[in-house]
Structure 1
Amino acid sequence: MGKHADPPGKSAHDAPGAVVRARPLSVRGAVRLRGPVDIWHKPAFSALVALAVPDLALYALGRLDLILYTSAGAMCALYAHGLPYAARARTLLWVVLGMVASLGVALTAASLIASTALLVVCASLVAAVHKVACDATRIGPPGNLILTFVTASAFFVPQHLGQVPQHLALALGTGALAWLVCMAPALIRPQGPERIVVARALEAAARLLRTEAGTDGGAPDGVAHARHAAGAGVAYTRQVTAAEVAHARHAAAAAVNAAWHTLFLVPMRTPDTAAARAGLERLLVRAESALGSTEHAGEVAERTAPYEAGAEADRLGGWARELRGGRPLPEVALSAAEAEELAGVAAEAPGPRRPAPGHPRGVRAVLARLAPGSPLLPIGARVAVGCVLAGWASLAVGVGHPYWAVVTAASIYQANTTLSWQRALQRTLGNLLGLLLYTALLPLMHLGPLAMIAVALACQLGAEATITRNYWLGSVCVTPMALLLTEFGSQVPATTLIADRWLDTVVGAAVGLACCVLVTNRRAADRIEVALERAAAAEAVASQLLGEGPATGVDEARELGWARDRLAGCLVELREAVEVAAGEWWQRAVPEERIAHAEQRGHRALAGLVRRLAAPTLAA
């Protein structure tokens, strides 16, 4: 029970005059390096190819001044690498069209508006639209950053109205090239993205099994003495806390939930694609069984012995390696109920399984996330206000590139104040080191335009290779690349560029963070209330189905599967809402006791649903 917990059965939202508490903004972990993302090389090399082709073409034509417009379309190659190819094709098309439309607004404004202060306002409003739209569509990395970086720069490029169509055509053409580059791997590994996301779910399930195998729910303080590792003949020497178990369970549920949503995007136009998806679903069902085979919240459930859980974890990890290695799908034994569920859905639809009904998808889901009262709207207000003030402050101190302050302010706004504070620190540190790197590279860049192109491409590759480790590390490579893009269009002394970049970074980070602190997101706590209500409703449906006894046919099995999907999604949404609200420094106290109770009941019901559908799986 935390210091912000409420009395049982009550929440700060319900209590009149609820206490508002200020959360400290910690710097711990802001510069800590993480492990690299497993597919970092895919966007990195896709963007490298998409940028290199037009850059070299412009060099051959002697028109490197157009590199900003070709880069706008080429950088779209950074998006959608986690999606199956059919969904990737649609998503990339929207990204390219969104980039070209934003660029069109920026270039038109640049050609018609003479006031720099007004251009700052326009760039800030577009940045806010980018932030809200990317969060609502859940586009994933790099999110709004690339769109805002290119568009904000274009607002301040000298332009004639008659040049706009030509420049937009360049962006659209390189956007088409980026689309082709990102879709090309489908010719070699057409099931690559969905195999990776299922492998992640298998790995998360294996971690959960290993974590649970080292716990004892009966320990009085919720901390267990270690048990013998399965099949390894050694013992754990470290104690595993209840918090670690909860984290592993949430990570497994989130990974499985994400994998199901990815598989739902895979069309089955041929028997081969239907068979491939069905094989991946069998693996995913097996991974999901880990959620029902372990104990939760101190209750001893029907669970396997530690050595059996460890053996299953090793099996899941081996299957994940086979998926990542491109080997044939392994044969997986399922329980009769699991097979009945999958077969029942296949009998009524062209695919092995469909998402649960009653949840909006596509455009309707995006509009629902932007409805009045959405927690995304205060974040959009933060971006708009913060970027305007940062740009104006940059102008006030005499910086010649105010769009850098706009981009800096836009880049630091994350889901909550704590994350925004850390991003501001990371951005400032990364830009400072990036300016030092740029200074060191100046002699190389003086060798000529071809050397500048090579340095810019190397920085792009380095940024993608390092930014997943920590944002500040990626910024070290992004900063020289951004300065190079400026140099291609105009010859500005290096000392001026470095001074302007540093001032804009400090001004943008300071002003943007101040607006983040002042424009509080009070709706973050409201999102918890909504998530609690949805989780309670999904848990009630699940409990009702569990009370009706074992599934006796395909219809009952399908209902259990849908209830499992709804409940898993609600629990993931609840945990995300809690983490976002916990990072807001000035807000109502989070109803921790209600949240803990809801998660305990929800995970208990989810485990029951999974066991009902997959009782003999671990023994297979």
Structure 2
Amino acid sequence: MSALPFDQPRVRLPVRAALRLSPLGDIWHKPALSAVAALALVLLPLYLAGRLDLVLYAAAGSMCALYGHGLPYAARARALAWVTLGMLSSTGVALVTAALTDSIAIRVAVAALLAGLHKAVCDATRIGPPGNVVLTFIAASAAFVPQHLADVPMHLGLGVLGGAVAWAVGMAPGLIRPDGPERIAVARALESAARLLRAYEGGGPARAVAGRGGVRDELHQARHAAAAAVNAAWQTLLRSGTADRRQELRRLLVRAESAAALASVDNQRVPAQELLAEADRLAGVARELRKGRRLPEPSPADPRTAAAERAELAGVAAEEGRPGRRTIRCLLSEVVRRWRVVLMVSGGAAAAGWASMGLGVGRPYWAVVTAAAVFAANTTLSWSRALQRVVGNLVGVALFTLLVPVTRLGALALIVTVLAMQFVTEAAVTRNYWLGSVFVTPMAILMTEFAGAQPVPVLVADRWLDTCVGAAAGLLACALLPDRRAAQRVRDGLGRLELAVAQEAPPPAERGVARGRLRTALVELRETADTAAGEWWSAALPHERIAAAERAGHHRLAELTP
């Protein structure tokens, strides 16, 4: 018997969807301002000292200010320290390589290996944007800078100073709004719950939309988005390390869960006017949170709901008393399990760099960075990223040629242009990766100008050729090494969700913990299913069983929610 149509693995290579612009990100200005401030604080002293040739080394630390903006400040302090340590460690390896050998082939190999390790570690730690790309860009660039072994300690010392600046800049907003990241996370959860209520009231089940895993109705997508946002908010609050001060935010988050449960059971009948009113209340509270105003009190609830919410908060507090922080050993184990990622990224990046060498390009590390940037969760997403990278770099190279006359008016003009490109990049990349590439491309090229002006035609030709070679090599590696375990991970996640749904209802004091585990299982199943659906040569997925399990999971989640 032939497989049913919904069981056939189908992979599309989208073009229009890959280039479509999204709304501007809600916190784009935070990494933008942080990166500009940190970079300016290292560029200006070097400018005054007349040593702009040292910019790359200081930037190795200062660019770490791009990371950790979604984390609570207690967790951000640790994350920024680890990112800086990782950045400087890989930069140190690259600098020593540059000092010990003149072989371009060996330098490419080292840069490619570092690119694979960056990808694996960033995936294992879930550090978030900008992920491995900035780490690889700095390390690969350092591998091709003329170097003497005796100068490496001093150059790394500049990186340490830049990292200290990045850490201070990243932590500075906590002095003004210490609970800012938690507020943003809870506001997102409230907004997602409000959209879910509106989708349910507006007849969401009747409107179908296409997704990577097939056709799913709008209400189903709204349910997943709400579950993901609530799950992310809980993770943020539990990592804040100050339970007493965040108690009001936890109460608001529990209320968001209660409201979302109104639209989580299809046969439940709630007046449309009540749904819209609750959606408006949630959206209003989210606005207050984002503006940094005094935390609003949740609207009054009936005695049963209020008691259930108090029981959940007590259960969360009890669960929080049992720490589950991941150890270094666990992290290393996760990195080792990602050997395929290291192999694929390193192989593709090395092939790109060596091909660039063969074509006579003077900066093969650009091809290495492009190949490393192409790799995404599956081949479909890698195709989209490659297309975005090529389009963005082509337009970015044209923008560079327009900016060159301005930047060559003097060193100060070059600094101002680089800082402006850095700021605009962080806004543009939230709309689409290709749009961000339009502005990051001239910035990356201009960074080479600090060491001395180069012929513009050579820079343009090198960048464009390296982009095409890197994107092609990256896609080829993705096609040759698909993730053949993607379907198995879906089935494992499906089993965990079905088991969580089948468990008996726990006592009221433990329902919060059970709900968190069920919500996590729902989110992970949908993410793994979307990833597997976009992988080439993947086994057929049981889409009907997945849909049934997700419906049952949302129903069960509603039953466990006050």
Smaller-chain TM-score bracket = over 0.9
Equivalence for 1:292: 261
Gap change, CA 1:287 and 1:61, over 3 Å in 2:
same
Aligned residue pairs total 553
Among residues 201, 210, 218, which one is paired with 1:213 in the alignment? 201
Structure 2 residue 364 is the aligned partner of structure 1 residue 402:
yes
Equivalence for 2:23: 35
Equivalent residue letter for 1:248:
A
Distance 2:304 2:488 in 1: 39
Equivalence for 1:235: none
Among residues 45, 56, 68, which one is paired with 1:57 in the alignment? 45
Equivalence for 1:563: 514
Structure 2 residue 235 is the aligned partner of structure 1 residue 261:
yes
Equivalence for 2:270: 304
Distance 2:323 2:489 in 1: 20
Gap change, CA 1:243 and 1:515, over 3 Å in 2:
same
Contact residue 393 and residue 438 of structure 2 kept, 8 A:
yes
Among residues 206, 218, 235, which one is paired with 1:244 in the alignment? 218
Equivalence for 1:418: 380
Matched ranges for 1:108-123 at <5 A: 108-123=96-111
Distance 2:410 2:490 in 1: 56
Among residues 72, 75, 90, which one is paired with 1:84 in the alignment? 72
Distance 1:216 1:390 in 2: 46
Gap change, CA 1:584 and 1:199, over 3 Å in 2:
same
Q: Decide which moves more: 563-572 or 519-528.
A: 519-528
Matched ranges for 1:6-155 at <5 A: 6=7, 21=9, 23-155=11-143
Structure 2 residue 558 is the aligned partner of structure 1 residue 598:
no
The answer for unaligned runs of 5 or more in structure 2 is: 209-214
TM-score when scaled to structure 2?
0.94
Structure 2 residue 553 is the aligned partner of structure 1 residue 607:
no
Equivalent residue letter for 2:419:
L
Contact residue 422 and residue 439 of structure 2 kept, 8 A:
yes
- RMSD in angstroms over aligned alpha carbons? 2.2
Equivalence for 1:531: 493
Q: CA deviation at 1:605?
A: 0.8
Equivalent residue letter for 1:379:
V
Contact residue 110 and residue 156 of structure 1 kept, 8 A:
yes
Gap change, CA 1:294 and 1:429, over 3 Å in 2:
same
Distance 2:145 2:521 in 1: 46
Q: Deviations over 1:461-499 (max 9, x none)?
A: 111111110111111111111111111124321111111
Distance 1:113 1:463 in 2: 35
Q: Deviations over 1:238-275 (max 9, x none)?
A: xxx9610000000000000000000001122xxxx61x
Q: Decide which moves more: 351-360 or 89-98.
A: 351-360
Equivalent residue letter for 1:52:
A
Distance 1:98 1:426 in 2: 27
Gap change, CA 1:97 and 1:176, over 3 Å in 2:
same
Structure 2 residue 158 is the aligned partner of structure 1 residue 156:
no
Gap change, CA 1:242 and 1:472, over 3 Å in 2:
closer
Contact residue 522 and residue 550 of structure 2 kept, 8 A:
yes
Equivalent residue letter for 1:463:
T
Q: Deviations over 1:37-86 (max 9, x none)?
A: 10000010011010011111101111000000111111000000011111
Gap change, CA 1:40 and 1:347, over 3 Å in 2:
closer
Q: CA deviation at 1:223?
A: 5.0
Gap change, CA 1:540 and 1:371, over 3 Å in 2:
farther
Q: Decide which moves more: 166-175 or 521-530.
A: 521-530
Contact residue 187 and residue 289 of structure 2 kept, 8 A:
yes
Equivalent residue letter for 1:545:
A
Contact residue 525 and residue 587 of structure 1 kept, 8 A:
yes
| 3-state SS of paired residue (1:29) | helix
| 3-state SS of paired residue (1:447) | coil
Contact residue 356 and residue 565 of structure 1 kept, 8 A:
no
Equivalent residue letter for 1:95:
V
Contact residue 342 and residue 352 of structure 1 kept, 8 A:
no
| 3-state SS of paired residue (1:82) | coil
Q: Larger Rg: 1 or 2?
A: 1
Distance 2:344 2:17 in 1: 24
Distance 1:596 1:345 in 2: 28
Equivalent residue letter for 2:546:
I
Contact residue 110 and residue 119 of structure 1 kept, 8 A:
yes
Equivalence for 1:325: 291
Among residues 375, 383, 389, which one is paired with 2:351 in the alignment? 389
Equivalence for 2:429: 467
Distance 2:276 2:476 in 1: 49
Gap change, CA 1:335 and 1:280, over 3 Å in 2:
farther
Structure 2 residue 244 is the aligned partner of structure 1 residue 278:
no
Among residues 403, 407, 424, which one is paired with 1:441 in the alignment? 403
Q: Decide which moves more: 560-569 or 579-588.
A: 579-588
Distance 2:122 2:232 in 1: 18
Distance 1:136 1:26 in 2: 28
Distance 2:409 2:318 in 1: 58
Contact residue 345 and residue 353 of structure 1 kept, 8 A:
no
TM-score when scaled to structure 1?
0.85
Contact residue 197 and residue 276 of structure 2 kept, 8 A:
yes
Equivalent residue letter for 2:66:
L
Equivalent residue letter for 1:528:
V
Q: CA deviation at 1:357?
A: 6.7
Equivalent residue letter for 2:58:
T
Distance 1:586 1:355 in 2: 42
Distance 1:292 1:461 in 2: 40
Among residues 150, 166, 170, which one is paired with 2:154 in the alignment? 166
Equivalence for 2:530: 579
Structure 2 residue 160 is the aligned partner of structure 1 residue 191:
no
Distance 1:334 1:255 in 2: 22
Q: CA deviation at 1:429?
A: 0.8
Q: Give the % identical residues.
A: 54
